[in-house]
Amino acid sequence: MRSQVTTKQGDRGETRTLGGDKVPKSHPIVECTGALDEVRAYTALVRQHLLERRPESYEQSAEFLLWLLHVYFLIGTACNDPHRKHPEYRRGEVGEPHVRRLEAEQENLESRVTLPRQFIVTASNPLSAEVDVLATHVRRLERNLVRLKETVPEFDTTSLFPFINRLSDTLYLLARDLEQGTHHTVDYSLLEPKE
């Protein structure tokens, strides 16, 4: 029986990009696409836990995360074909409307969250901790996007860079919103020697 998943084409450590190029699996295109896949998987996990633990009070945030999961497909096709060899495979581009929607979500969270004046040292519940981890995955994706842009200077990141940069900020605020005011700020007295 023929597999629906396994093609055996990557058995030698190479893969074919959406643009049709055969590249090693360590190539910046593959690294960037892999980082995005991590972000997608973790976003899906966070959304499921959000729906499971706080279904009614965070319905808007769950809808936002579902929207993000769809935006990731636009980002993925852009990253996997940075030379734009096959624009026919694209179902859209991340653009200013996407950045505006993200900024609107951030503004909504800003209106609900009062951040403490000290650094936050840890999340105060498992769900906010998961969102913090997701934000670190997004920042890794951002670094991979920059690396890909350095490798392929013609890669259009006009809206991708602002979108991903705002995304990590928005997720940070979502994590703080999920703490509902129970922020754990840094306490340097814990570093003092005990007598």
The yes-or-no verdict on residue 55 having pLDDT over 90 is no
Q: Could you tell me the pLDDT band of residue 195, with boundaries at 50, 70 and 90?
A: confident
What pTM was computed for the model?
A: 0.87
Report the Cα 38 to chain-centroid distance in Å. 8
Select the more confidently predicted residue: 144 or 24. Answer: 144
Q: Give the Cα separation of 136 and 115 in Å (integer).
A: 19
Q: Could you tell me the pLDDT band of residue 144, with boundaries at 50, 70 and 90?
A: very high
Residues with Cβ within 8 Å of residue 79, at least 6 apart in sequence: 29, 32, 33, 36, 145, 148
Residue-level pLDDT at 68: 97
Q: Could you tell me the pLDDT band of residue 118, with boundaries at 50, 70 and 90?
A: confident
Residue-level pLDDT at 187: 81
Where do the structural domains in the chain lie, given as residue ranges?
A: 14-186
The yes-or-no verdict on residue 71 having pLDDT over 90 is yes
Sign of CA dihedral 182, 184, 187, 191: positive
The yes-or-no verdict on residue 10 having pLDDT over 70 is no
Report the Cα 81 to chain-centroid distance in Å. 19
| Helix or strand (DSSP H, E) at 10 | none
Chain segment 150-176, per-residue pLDDT in tens: 999 999 999 999 999 999 999 999 999
Contact 119, 170 (CB under 8 A): no
Q: Give the Cα separation of 146 and 149 in Å (integer).
A: 5
Residue-level pLDDT at 134: 97
Tokens of 139: 């920042």
Considering the segment(s) 14-186 as one domain, its CATH architecture is Up-down Bundle (1.20)
Q: Give the Cα separation of 168 and 108 in Å (integer).
A: 15
The yes-or-no verdict on residue 77 having pLDDT over 90 is yes
